[in-house]
A and B are shown apart, each in its own frame.
Chain A
Amino acid sequence: MSDAASVSGHSTNKAGRFVYVSGVVLLCAWVLIPLYLLLVNTLSSPEAVNSFPKSFLPGFDLGSLEFFAGFSGMLVALKNSIIVAAITMVLSILIGAPAGYALSRFEFRGKEVFRLLILLTRAFPLPLLALPLAVLFIRTGLDDTAFGLALVHTTLAVPFAVLITFSLFSGIPLELEEAAWTLGCTRLTAFTKVVLPLILPGITASAIFAFVISWNEVFAAAVLTIENRTLTAFLLQTLSESPLHLKFAGGFILVVPALVFIFAVRKYLFAMWGIANR
C-alpha cells in the first residue's frame, strides 16, 4: 500500500517535472527559434534564402549585411533611434514612477478615473493623432527633433510605466517606509534609501518597455522626423517591399540593438524574482 502510494507520488512528481521542463523548453524555443532563423537567413546568400527546404546552418554569406553597410544614412538613423529611445526611457520613468507611487500610496478624488485616463492614451491609433501632432510640432519648432518624437513615444510608454510601478509600490508594505520615517528619514530619503532599491527591477522592466515601444514605433517617427529619422522609420518602410534576403538582414539589424540593450539591463530585471545579481 505504502509502496504503491510512493510509486504514484514519484510518477506524478516525474510527470510534473516533465511538464515543467517541456514548458521551459517550449518558451525558450518560442523566443529563440525565430531569432535563430533570422540569423541564419541574414548570413545566407539570396539563393539560399529563396530556396526550399531551408538550411538550418548559416552559409556565412555577408552579402546582405554588406548591402546595408553601404546604405546611406544607416548609422545616423541608428544614433537617432538610440537618442529617442533613451529620452523616452528617462521621461517615461520620471513621469510614470511618481504617478505609480501616488496611485498606490495616496487616496485622492478621481483616482479610478485617472487610472483609466492613463490607459486612454493607448486607445487612439497613432495615424489618427499624427496629423494634428505634426501640425503642432511644425508650428512650435519641435518638428524633426529627437526630443519631439521622444515626447510622443513617452505618451505611449507612460501607461506601462505607471501600471508596472503602481503594482510594485503596492507590493511594498507602507510599514517599511513608516519604520524609516521613525528612524529619521524624510519622505524623500525613505523613498530613495528604502523603497527605490526594492523597486529597481520594476523600474528596469518599465524602462525596457519604454525602450522597446520607442524602438518599434514607425508611424509617428516617419511623419515627425525627416533629417533625424529613427532606424525603424528609416528601414521598416523600405524593408516591407524589399527582396527576402534584405528583409532578413534588415530585421536582424533592427533586432540586435534591442537585444544588446535588454542583455545590458537583464541583471536588474532578474532581481525582480529574487535571483541575486549575477
Chain B
Amino acid sequence: MSFKTKLAGAMTGVAVLTSAVAVQAEVLFWSTQARPAEEAQAMRVEVLGGFGPGVDYQPNEAGPWLTRFKAEIEAGSGSIGVLGSLHGDFSSLDADTLMDLDGLGVMSSSETFNNLAKLGTDSMQYVPWMQASYIMAANKEALQYLPEGANIDALSYDELIQWTANVHEAVGQPKFGFPAGPKGLKHRFFQGYLYPSYTNGVVRTFASPEAVTAWEKFKELWAHTNPASTNYNFLQEQLLSGDAWIVFDHTSRLAQAFNERPDDFVAFPAPAGPTGRGFMPVLAGVAIPETAPDKDAAMALVKYLLKPETQLATLRATSFFPVVDVDLPDDLPPAVRAAGDAVAKMSASPDANPGLLPAGLGSKGGDFNRVFVDTFERIVLAGQPIDRVLADQKRALAKIMDDTGAPCWAPDAPSDGACPVE
C-alpha cells in the first residue's frame, strides 16, 4: 500500500466519521430574534422547553439567517422548520417560498398585524409572534433638571431639547443618548417618531418645509447628545454606565437596565411635535418555509408559540409583548412593567399619532432605511444644508417607492398607486 493510498484511506475515514448525519427529531427554529445570550437561553429553557417534540432554537444574525433560508429554498430541501424574524425581513422574501398559514387557525388579535402578515397576498404568509415598540428612558438623576411645568409623561420635543440642555449645562457633559451606532435603530426614530410628530407623514412629507423644521430640531437635540452616540447600539449599556442619562431605544434594548437596577431609571413616552406624538410598533412573526422537513411539527410549534401561556413566557424571556389577548400578571420583570406602562401611556395620550411599519417595500426595505440613515449622516454628522440633502435624498426615496409601487401607510394619507414623495 503506497503512501498515496494510505492517505486517501485516511481522508475517507475522516470524511465518513465527521459526516455522519445527525438524526433530526427536533424542529429547527431559525430566528433572528432573542439573540443575546441570556434571551436565547431563556427561549430554549423557559419558552420552548414545554414543546413536546423538542425545539432546536438557533438565533442568527440577519445575514446568515437569510443566506441559509435562500440556500434551502434553492436546493429544494432543507432542515429549517420554523422561521422567526421581523416583519421587515419577511416582507423581503418571496411569498411563494413560505407556506400559507390560513388553515392554522391561529392569528394575532390585531387586524392590522394580520393584514401586514399577508405580505400583500391573500393569505397569511407568517403569523404575528410578538411585538414591541420604542420608548424613552432616563436616569432618575436627570429628573431634577426637567424644565419647569413639563410633565415627563407628556413631553414635547421642545421640552426634551430644553431638558437635555439643562442637564448638559448642569453636569457639563451632553447626556442624551441616541442609538446611532452601526447596529443602532436610528432609522426607526426618524420614520416612526420624528417625521410623524412634525410632518404627519413619512414618505409624502419627506422633503416638506415641516421636515426641514424637524431636522433643525433634531440638530438642536444633537447638540446635547453624547457624541459617542455614533457607537451606541443598545442604550441599556450607556444607561447602566452613566454615559447617557436620557435615551431613546427599542424596549428590549433597554430591558437590561431596568432589570438590573429597576429603582434607578424611569421609562416614559416618546415626545410630541406639532402633529402629535408619533410612535411605531415592532412586529416579529413566525413562518414555515416550503422546504420544512416536518411541516406538521412546524405547524404545531407555531400554534404552541401563539398560546397565551407561551406568549407570557416569551414576554418574560425577551421583553417582547404578546400579540394575542392575554391578562398580564402582576409579577412581571421590572423592564416589562416599565416598558408596558410607557407604551400604554404613549398609545393612550390624547395627541397619539401611531404609525405603521413600512409595507410593500419587498427587498427594498433596507434601501428605504438607508435613505433615512444617509439623510441623518449628511445633515447631522456632516453638517450639510438641510434643503439640499432633502432634495437629494428625495430622489432616492421616490425611486424606491416607484420601483416597488408600495402604497402609503399611516400616518401618510392613503394613495392609489405608489406612495408619492411630494
Complex contact B241–A52 (CB within 8 A):
yes
Give Cα distance in the complex from A226 to B233, angstroms.
28
Complex contact A144–B21 (CB within 8 A):
yes
Say whether, besides A144-B79, A223-B71, A246 and B37 are in contact (CB < 8 Å). Answer: yes
Say whether, besides A83-B18, A94-B7, A226-B58, A238 and B37 are in contact (CB < 8 Å). Answer: yes
A58 at interface, CB cutoff 8 A: no
B114 to chain A, nearest CB (A): 29
B329 at interface, CB cutoff 8 A: no
A127 at interface, CB cutoff 8 A: yes
A250 at interface, CB cutoff 8 A: yes
Report the stretch among A12-20, A23-31, A130-138, A200-208 that lies at the interface: A130-138
Say whether, besides A83-B18, A138-B78, A244-B237, A223 and B37 are in contact (CB < 8 Å). Answer: no
- Across-interface contacts of B18 in A (CB, < 8 A): 83, 87, 145-147, 150
A139 at interface, CB cutoff 8 A: yes
- Across-interface contacts of B67 in A (CB, < 8 A): 127, 130-131, 134, 223
Considering the complex, give the chain A residue whose CB is closest to the CB of B261.
A47
- Across-interface contacts of A110 in B (CB, < 8 A): none
- Across-interface contacts of B234 in A (CB, < 8 A): 241
- Across-interface contacts of A157 in B (CB, < 8 A): none
- Across-interface contacts of A6 in B (CB, < 8 A): none
What is the interface residue range for chain B against chain A?
35 or more
B103 at interface, CB cutoff 8 A: no
Considering the complex, give the chain B residue whose CB is closest to the CB of A84.
B18
B44 at interface, CB cutoff 8 A: yes
B77 at interface, CB cutoff 8 A: yes
A114 at interface, CB cutoff 8 A: no
- Across-interface contacts of A184 in B (CB, < 8 A): none
* 0/1 string, B317-348, CB within 8 A of A gives 1: 00000000000000000000000000000000
- Across-interface contacts of A188 in B (CB, < 8 A): 3
A218 to chain B, nearest CB (A): 8
- Across-interface contacts of B14 in A (CB, < 8 A): 87, 90, 147
Complex contact A52–B77 (CB within 8 A):
no
Complex contact B64–A222 (CB within 8 A):
yes
B226 at interface, CB cutoff 8 A: no
Say whether, besides A94-B7, A138-B72, A226-B28, A46 and B79 are in contact (CB < 8 Å). Answer: no
Complex contact A223–B240 (CB within 8 A):
no
Considering the complex, give the chain B residue whose CB is closest to the CB of A50.
B240
Complex contact B242–A219 (CB within 8 A):
no
Say whether, besides A238-B59, A241-B35, A46 and B75 are in contact (CB < 8 Å). Answer: no
Which B residues have a C-beta under 8 Å from some C-beta of A? Answer: 3, 7, 14-15, 18-19, 21-22, 24, 28, 35-38, 40-41, 44-45, 56, 58-61, 63-64, 67-68, 70-72, 74-75, 77-79, 183, 233-234, 236-237, 240-242, 256, 260
A-B contact pairs, 21 of them (CB 8 A): A50-B237, A50-B240, A72-B44, A83-B18, A87-B14, A134-B68, A134-B71, A135-B71, A135-B74, A141-B21, A144-B21, A146-B18, A223-B68, A223-B71, A227-B56, A238-B37, A239-B37, A241-B183, A243-B36, A246-B37, A250-B37
Which A residues have a C-beta under 8 Å from some C-beta of B? Answer: 46, 50-52, 67-68, 70-72, 83, 87, 90, 94, 127, 130-131, 134-135, 138-139, 141-148, 150, 188, 219, 222-223, 226-229, 233, 235, 237-244, 246, 250
